[in-house]
Amino acid sequence: MKKFSWLVLSGVFLLMLSSCSTNKKDDSSETSSTLSSTTSENTQTTETTSIEETTSTEPVQTTVQNTTTSTTVVQEESYEEMKQRTLNSTHAERASWSDEEWEAFGMALYENGLALDDAGNIITQAEAEQQATATQAAQSAEPSTLTEFINKYGMSPVAYKMQYEGMSEEEALQSTPNDMKSSGEIQRGFIEYGIQ
């Protein structure tokens, strides 16, 4: 193996020397003959080494695999095809969309008079308007329980009447039914003002 490396290095060195010389014709033919003799010596050395290794060791099993490269043709999707594909999508597919796919989806919804509801389902524009109207009506309706009132105004009806309607505490407690008062307001009305 050392001989082989030495011969290759010698060949490279000779090749470099020949390219640097001014007499390229003479050097080229000399280098060619040297290089060809070096190559034949390398071949003989390699064959000898292979034979020696094979006889001195156990047989080595060699497996040759044929690999075939398949070329996949990727076809670009047109914008119209993308709009149609996104329109037929599911919630799971939308989770990994690119910005371009979301844009195509929005255009497809707009062009077809469709919208998304709060759950992400595709609905018609008329259904979307009905849902919006129902939501606005629910928000504008006066709360019927203490919890709804507190959720809407952030305070009890008694506190609201005192703060925004200018009532005194006694007037607010008297004008508010017990089911719209907190337990503390009911106790205070009974203890302070005798309201049952």
Residue-range domain boundaries for the chain:
2-54, 79-138, 142-193
Residue 49: pLDDT over 50: no
Q: Residue 185: its pLDDT value, please?
A: 94
What values do phi and psi take at 123, rounded to 5?
Answer: -130, 165
What is the per-residue pLDDT for 50? 44
Enter the tokens of residue 69.
């490269």
Phi/psi at 114 (5° precision):
-115, 170
Structure confidence at residue 144 (pLDDT): 86
pLDDT at 150 over 50: yes
Is the confidence at residue 51, as pLDDT, over 50? Answer: no
Closest CA to 85 of 73, 98, 72: 98
Three-class secondary structure assignment of 46-72: HHHHHHHHHHHCCCCCCCCCCCCCCCC
Q: Mean pLDDT over all residues of the chain?
A: 75
**Region 75-98: what's the mean pLDDT?**
89
3-state class (DSSP) for residue 31 = helix
Single-letter amino acid code for the residue at 181: K
Q: Is 116 helix (H, G, I), strand (E, B) or coil?
A: strand
pTM (2 d.p.): 0.36
